[in-house]
Structure formats: C-alpha cells, structure tokens
Amino acid sequence: MRYNYKHTVRVAYADTDQMGVVYYGNYARFFEVARTEALRSIGIRYADLERAGVMLPVTRMHVKYIRPALYDDLLTIEVIIPAIPDRMITFEYLLFNEKGEKLVEAETQLMFMDATSRKLIHAPESVVSCFKQLK
C-alpha cells in the first residue's frame, strides 16, 4: 500500500512575511489541510475520528525548503501515505507551484491517541480497513 493524493491551495496574503514569501512556519497549515483531504478521499473524516474519541497529534515534522512559495501561487500538494497505519501514521508532502517547480519536501508523523487517557493506541479498525481496501 502506498497512497497518493493531490490537493491545491492558494497562497493568501496572511501566509506571507516581509521577505515577500510564505513564512516558514505557515507551511504546517498547508500540510494539515492536504493530509485531511487525503484522508477524506479514502473515507476517513478526521472530525468524525475526534468525535469518536481518537486524536492524531503530530509527533515529528521535517521540512526542506527548496524554493519560496509566493503570494497568490496556486500550490499543488502531493500527499503520500507510504504504509498502512498502525500506532503511527506517516505523511510525506511535495509542494509544487504552477510552473511545476518543486518548492518544499516534508514529512510528518502522527500518533493515534485516545482523547480521554491521552495514551498511544492502535489505529481504529475503521481506519485500517479504509487503507486495506485500497490495495
């Protein structure tokens, strides 16, 4: 299993800083939106997971900034889920601008957590089965 999904986002003025580019900390929001939509595309709605008592805090993030994203750029974010999640779920991200230039490579690791005990848990069966049907 290796799942690929593409999501596009428009860079807002709010995302920029006085260097005239997207502030390095604001990509985290793009990653979040892209992985949420990747999960939604295979039938997993993160808001439902939370309502069922499962949270997905980020445990690691690596970002490599290659070229700056600019205001009003329409970015394509390629999200890759390289493996069926167990206790952890990994997302890789590739950001491209409209010219097809690669801007950013990133990776985040998230853990499945019980909302009440705040302890590490296995991915719920409902989540795992969404991945298994992908082949």
**Rule CB under 8 A: which residues touch its own copies?**
10, 12-14, 16-21, 23-29, 32-33, 36, 45-47, 50, 55, 57-65, 68, 71-72, 108
For 104, other C-beta atoms within 10 Å of its C-beta total 22
By C-beta, is 87 or 132 nearer to its own copies?
Answer: 87
By C-beta, is 2 or 98 nearer to its own copies?
Answer: 98
Residue 59 beta carbon to its own copies: minimum distance, rounded to whole angstroms: 5
Of 89, 97, 91, 96, nearest to 49 by C-alpha is: 89
Residue 21 beta carbon to its own copies: minimum distance, rounded to whole angstroms: 7
Token output for 50: 């939370």
Q: DSSP 3-state assignment of 12?
A: coil
Residue 125 beta carbon to its own copies: minimum distance, rounded to whole angstroms: 22
By C-beta, is 17 or 86 nearer to its own copies?
Answer: 17
Question: Residue length, the chain?
Answer: 135
**What torsion, rounded to 10 degrees, do the Cα atoms 69, 103, 80, 12 define?**
0
By C-beta, is 3 or 30 nearer to its own copies?
Answer: 30
Q: Are 56 and 111 in contact (CB under 8 A)?
A: yes
Residue 1 beta carbon to its own copies: minimum distance, rounded to whole angstroms: 25
Using CA atoms, how far apart are residues 111 and 114, in angstroms rounded to an integer? Answer: 10
